[in-house]
Amino acid sequence: MGQGKDTKVVAPETSVDTQAANGGGKTAGNRRSFVRNVVVGSGVAAAATIAAPNISRAQTTTWRFQSTWPQTDIFHEYAQDYVNRVNAMGGGRLELQLLPAGAVVGAFQMQDAVSAGALDGGHGVSAYWYGKNKAFSLFGTCPPYGWDANQFLGWFHYGGGEALYRELVNDMLGLDLVGFLSGPMPTQPLGWFTREITSAEDMQGLKYRTVGLAADLFAEMGVAVTILPGGEIVPAIDRRLIDGAEFNNPSSDKILGFQDVAQYYMIQSFHQRMEMFEIIFNKSKFDELADEQKAILRYAAEAASADMSWKQQDRYSSDLIALEEAGVNVRETPESVLQAQLAAWDTVIENLSADPFFKKVVDSQKAWTERIVGFYRRWDADNDMAYDHFFKS
């Protein structure tokens, strides 16, 4: 904008001043001079207007944005979907460059790197920061009150969850972060095992990978828990360092190669009934952006959230069928395990609610779930009845 902004169109004012000095007379010469100067002035202004976008493009804000996922994982694809939306809406003035886990820091170090400014932003899950404060997992792998991930996102946006999230991240922990939750995930499987799980007793003493509050849950059930990032799980099973593990979904599990190291895929579980992604940015840098750029980062998270909820329907169902066709033994988790998980949740919630903030979040979530799930249980017709009518012989 520099040259155009500093250029002053003075000809019309000069012409008017000249007319006033001459008693307001309007000679043909004055009229021609006035028109000529207006045209010239308009041309300068138009040139400045046309040049402005080019100068804006030269001032592109480009940020390094790392995921916590291996490059081949569908989760990294979801991160790319978000980046694509930001870049498309950014109009050349705001761009994110996506990097996979480990490109700058390891998966579990991503939050610290963004807060410190070593990365500008990142894509992960809140449960990965569980070691800093266990309440982080309430914004990712929260207790199964009967709700799903989309209803959780309703709580986050309309039930007070986002204010509680900021209280934890900014006020309590003093992290230089701003974050958005995005991408509703369905129930995660109990996981992959070298032998079939037929009862709650089979979990006793099992060496098992999970993250977040599920670590407390399974410890309560007598499981020996190991916390590992996604890219390290399959090698750990292959070397028999662990007996079983969960990650998230059929597409991720298939790509990561779980079927090559374990024979049994136990689906259905209450340890992580649902989850969602966390998209974070360095707050100091975020605050320096123009308002429209901040809006792009937020609204792209909402758009990517909707798209992911549709994409996963296709990919997860197709990949589960592919795993079965490849010979994987897919089994439903026994009811005794599910009941044991719910009983363990009671203990975990009670113990951790000794922390006032943890309890405040739990109470807020339960109040939302009781009302929202209660509404839909009354309002919706039974989908199982309809499905059985049309598809069960």
Residues in a beta bridge with 280:
122, 179
Q: What residue type is 156 in one-letter code?
A: F
Residue 209 main-chain phi, psi, to 5 deg: -100, 135
Q: Which CATH class is domain 62-393?
A: alpha beta
pLDDT at 44: 39
Choose among 291, 299, 305, 184: nearest CA to 248.
184
Burial letters 69-95, b for 16+ CB under 10 A, else e:
bbeebbbbbbbbbbbebbbebbeebbe
Which among 5, 12, 42 has a CA at the least distance from the CA of 30? 12
pLDDT at 291: 97
How confident is the model at residue 304, as a pLDDT? 98
> For residue 222, which phi and psi values (nearest 5 degrees)?
90, 15
3-state SS class at 124:
strand
Instruction: For strands 121-124 and 275-282, give the pairing.
Output: antiparallel
What pLDDT shows up at residue 56? 43
pLDDT at residue 37, as a whole number:
46
Report the chain's C-alpha Rg in angstroms: 29
- Residue 242 has, within 13 A of its CA and on its CB side, a CA count of 26
If you ran DSSP here, which 8-state letter would residue 137 be given?
Answer: G
CA 75 → CA 46, 72, 263, 335, 375, distances in Å? 46, 8, 23, 30, 32
Judged by DSSP in three states, 181 sits in strand
Distances (CA, A) of 159 to 135, 138, 154, 363, 369: 17, 14, 7, 11, 10
> Each residue of 143-171: pLDDT tens digit?
999 999 999 999 999 999 999 999 999 99
Phi, psi of 275 (to 5 degrees): -160, 170
Q: What angle do CA 154, 139, 339 make, to 5 degrees?
A: 95
- What is the pLDDT at residue 1? 40
Q: What is the pLDDT of residue 228?
A: 87
HEC per residue, 188-240: CCCEEECCCCCCHHHHCCCEEECCCHHHHHHHHCCCEEECCCHHHHHHHHHCC
The CA-based angle 383-385-390, given to 5 degrees, is 95
- CB-count exposure of residue 179 (10 Å: 0-12, 13-18, 19+): buried
Cβ atoms of 61 and 92 closer than 8 Å: no
Q: Which residues of the chain have pLDDT under 50?
A: 1-58
Separation CA 125–CA 278 (nearest Å): 5
| Cα end-to-end distance, the chain, whole Å | 71
Domain limits, the chain: 2-57, 62-393
For β-strands 264-267 and 207-209, DSSP reports them as unpaired
Model's pTM, two decimal places? Answer: 0.83
